Amino acid sequence: MRRMRKIKIVATLGPASSDYDMIRKLFEAGADVFRLNMSHGSHDEIGERHRIIRQIEEDLGRPIAILADLQGPKLRVGVFANGEEELAAGQDFRLDLDTAEGDATRVQLPHKEIFEALEPGASLLVNDGKIRLKVKDCGADFADCEVLVGGTISNRKGVNVPDVELPLAALSDKDRKDLEFVCSLGVDWLALSFVQRPRDVEEARELCQGRAAILSKIEKPLAVRNFEAILQASDGIMVARGDLGVELPVQNVPPIQKRLVRKCRAAAKPVIVATQMLESMIESPMPTRAEVSDVATAIYEGADAVMLSAESAAGQYPLEAVATMNNVAMEVEADPTYRDVINASRGGKKETVADAIVSAAREIAETTNIKAICCYSQSGVTALLVGRERPQVPIIAMTSMMGTARRLCLSWGMHCVRTGEVTRFKEAVLNAARAARTEGMAEATDQIVVTAGVPFGVSGSTNILRVAPCEERLIYATDPG
């Protein structure tokens, strides 16, 4: 099954998409990666969805990536005696550690570490920023605040603290249990919520022990400030615009998105643009024009993937949402302006032999009649470098490692093919030619570019490029060894 677009689609599974038939239909409609949201669903439900995805993978003979998204430390107020209260702008309101039920003057905030980090003047945002508080005075167990923007505050509403670096680990006790569970299942990517600093990523990597690639969600201002270090520590990035748009002025989010996507592309690490991409399709079979433009913008920027959340997990039209994203992607990528934008934004330093090889592969493919670039990549590094070049022709990522094939399903342009282990370059060329023909990317009379590293099996050793015919007789004639 070949996708006719380069950007990938991540679909979140949930109550609306939890059985074999629906998940298979989502894949056939265009989903390349399935997200398991650990904020919702029991381990039994998550395990069953994982099993179904792997069954579909086996039935269709195509690798499928699974991304487990950890909940992260959630900050919430306590409960109110009346269930909710109205706060008016200008009034005083206290947050404290008192376990008594709240009223119109105070409520519990059961996070001691927040009070230890707060200072007068700090902002507190409640219920996705609908209520805004400013700290007037604070101590080890309280914060006296002025209500800047009032509204209804109710039980266990979320709290954001945008101005302060919170002394919170990125992994809660629940996250640690969830991490071990999904790694034991065999997920391919692990998304970390509310990352603030690179050591948050390093902690998760130690717990993963190589069982999953680490993807950091950028949703806090501190993560934006620490982005370079977080990117270096991570295998991939998600621009999670939900909390980012709460903790920062909303007008700041689009330029931040564009900068982060470009930095990820330059580093050859996959980047997902997420949150509210087709939000109206939770209840409507048609998206708004603004949502379509939002998806298109991420595609023009060269993001590796765009993500559906509630649209596919709990919405009324999960198949239509995936199909809409697929159709928008195909239309945008067929636009001549798309190629102009991608070419103009191509970046990344060329410092190694591998960098030079993949850059040459793209240039050869785009200046001659080459049908595909076939890259052998055991670890996935070479394939990611080829993807960074954003070539016009298809990329066939050849690997004997199923885990690598699955992880690369998240990356721009990758058509992943699992192959047997090879020991000679001619064998690699023959396998690449067969794959190009079998996958419908080339005919016997066409040519492909093949990149690999010799000796085989050494990560990051790409050192050979060959323009090869797709007809095996000609391969033997030109390389009898």
CATH 3.20.20.60 boundaries in the chain: 8-73+169-332
Residue 173: CB atoms within 10 A of its CB come to 9
Q: In the CATH scheme, what is the homologous superfamily, with its name and number, of domain 353-478?
A: Pyruvate kinase, C-terminal domain (3.40.1380.20)
Q: One of 5, 217, 220, 371 is an active-site residue; which one?
A: 217
CATH 3.40.1380.20 boundaries in the chain: 353-478
> 8-73+169-332 maps to which CATH number?
3.20.20.60
pLDDT at 94: 97
**Model confidence at 459: pLDDT above 80:** no
Which of residues 350 and 295 earns the better pLDDT score? Answer: 295
- 451 as an active site residue: the answer is no
- 275 as an active site residue: the answer is yes
**Model confidence at 365: pLDDT above 70:** yes
Q: One of 6, 8, 49, 275 is an active-site residue; which one?
A: 275
Q: Which residue has the tokens 């990523």?
A: 201
Q: What is the mean pLDDT of residues 241-269?
A: 94
Q: What is the 3-state secondary structure (H, E, C) of the chain?
A: CCCCCCCEEEEEECCCCCCHHHHHHHHHHCCCEEEEECCCCCHHHHHHHHHHHHHHHHHHCCCCEEEEECCCCCCECCCECCCEEEECCCCEEEEECCCCCECCCEEECCCHHHHHHCCCCCEEEECCCCEEEEEEEEECCEEEEEEEECEEEECCCEEECCCCCCCCCCCCHHHHHHHHHHHHHCCCEEEECCCCCHHHHHHHHHHHCCCCEEEEEECCHHHHHCHHHHHHHCCEEEEEHHHHHHHCCHHHHHHHHHHHHHHHHHCCCCEEEECCCCHHHHCCCCCCHHHHHHHHHHHHCCCCEEEECHHHHCCCCHHHHHHHHHHHHHHHHCCHHHHHHHHHCCCCCCCCHHHHHHHHHHHHHHHCCEEEEEEECCCCHHHHHHHHCCCCCCEEEEECCHHHHHHHCCCCCEEEEECCCCCCHHHHHHHHHHHHHHCCCCCCCCEEEEEECCCCCCCCCCCEEEEEECCHHHHHHHCCC
pLDDT in tens, 112-142: 988 989 999 999 999 989 999 999 999 999 9
- 288 as an active site residue: the answer is no
CB 373 within 8 A of CB 365: yes
- For 339-361, b/e burial (b = at least 16 CB within 10 A) is eeebeebeebeeeeebbebbbeb
pLDDT at 423: 82
Q: What is the mean pLDDT of residues 388-412?
A: 96
CB 296 within 8 A of CB 332: yes
Q: Which residues contact 397 (CB under 8 A, 6 or more apart)?
A: 375, 377, 380, 383, 386, 404, 405, 408, 414, 415, 416, 417
Range of lowest pLDDT (172-181, 326-335, 383-392, 454-463): 454-463
| Distance from C-alpha of 449 to C-alpha of 451, rounded to nearest angstrom | 7
Peptide bond into 15 cis (omega under 30): no
pLDDT at 128: 87
Q: Which residues contact 119 (CB under 8 A, 6 or more apart)?
A: 135, 138, 164
CB 337 within 8 A of CB 299: no
Q: Average pLDDT of the chain? A: 94
| Distance from C-alpha of 438 to C-alpha of 374, rounded to nearest angstrom | 13
Confidence of residue 358 (pLDDT cuts 50, 70, 90): very high
CATH 2.40.33.10 boundaries in the chain: 84-160
What tokens appear for 97 in the block? 């550690």
pLDDT at 479: 67
Rg (the chain; Cα; Å):
24
pLDDT at 346: 84
**Model confidence at 460: pLDDT above 80:** no
**In this structure, CATH architecture of domain 84-160:** Beta Barrel (2.40)
Strands 151-154 and 84-87, by their bridges, are antiparallel
| Distance from C-alpha of 262 to C-alpha of 388, rounded to nearest angstrom | 10
Confidence of residue 267 (pLDDT cuts 50, 70, 90): very high
pLDDT at 153: 96
Which of residues 287 and 459 earns the better pLDDT score? Answer: 287
Q: Which residue has the tokens 């007068």?
A: 120
Q: One of 35, 157, 262, 371 is an active-site residue; which one?
A: 35
CB 189 within 8 A of CB 67: yes
**Model confidence at 350: pLDDT above 90:** no
The pTM (predicted TM-score) of the whole model is 0.94
What is the phi/psi pair of residue 390, to 5°?
50, 60
Q: One of 25, 74, 76, 418 is an active-site residue; which one?
A: 76
pLDDT in tens, 284-320: 999 999 999 999 999 999 999 999 999 999 999 999 9
- 346 as an active site residue: the answer is no
Q: What is the mean pLDDT of residues 451-478?
A: 83
What is the phi/psi pair of residue 18, to 5°?
-125, -5
Amino acid at 464: I
| Distance from C-alpha of 167 to C-alpha of 314, rounded to nearest angstrom | 33
CB 354 within 8 A of CB 326: no
What tokens appear for 43 in the block? 């381990």
| Distance from C-alpha of 281 to C-alpha of 255, rounded to nearest angstrom | 25
Which of residues 351 and 304 earns the better pLDDT score? Answer: 304
pLDDT in tens, 139-192: 999 999 999 999 999 999 999 998 888 888 879 999 999 999 999 999 999 999
| Distance from C-alpha of 274 to C-alpha of 289, rounded to nearest angstrom | 17
